[in-house]
Amino acid sequence: MAKKWRQNLTRWITNTIELPPDVMMDLPRITMVGQLHIYIENHRGLLTFTDTELRLLLKQGQLLVKGEAFVIKTILPEEILLEGKINQVLYLDAT
């Protein structure tokens, strides 16, 4: 019950103060340019990287990016820029 109340309060604050939901709810922000680039902000760390797969830890679950010829162009504590041919972007539940 406390979790649902907290979520409702977060939504109310987000709408009232007009802050972006990704800021208030600790969600990742993903920007893609076609299949060539993906820029991911607000992640919790790199779990796996190969030339065909990138897996990031999120506050709730993980983000999996699949494709070909991946190269990490930029990596910062909460941001990553990946280049290559992106075929899939999947959210994996924490459960």
Say which CATH number the domain at 77 has: 2.60.40.2000
Alpha-carbon distance of 93 to 40, in angstroms, equals 18
With bands split at pLDDT 50, 70 and 90, how would you rate the model's confidence at 81? very high
**pTM as predicted:** 0.75
The count of structural domains within the chain is 1
The answer as to whether 13 is a domain residue is no
The mean per-residue pLDDT over the stretch 69-85 comes to 96
The answer as to whether 33 is a domain residue is yes
The answer as to whether 74 is a domain residue is yes
Structural domain boundaries enclosing 78: 27-92
The answer as to whether 21 is a domain residue is no
Alpha-carbon distance of 40 to 56, in angstroms, equals 9
Give every CB contact of residue 66 below 8 A, 6+ residues apart in sequence: 52, 53, 86, 87, 88, 90
The answer as to whether 3 is a domain residue is no
**Residue of higher predicted confidence among 84 and 12:** 84
- pLDDT > 80? residue 54: yes
Which pLDDT score is estimated for 23?
Answer: 54
Which pLDDT score is estimated for 27?
Answer: 84
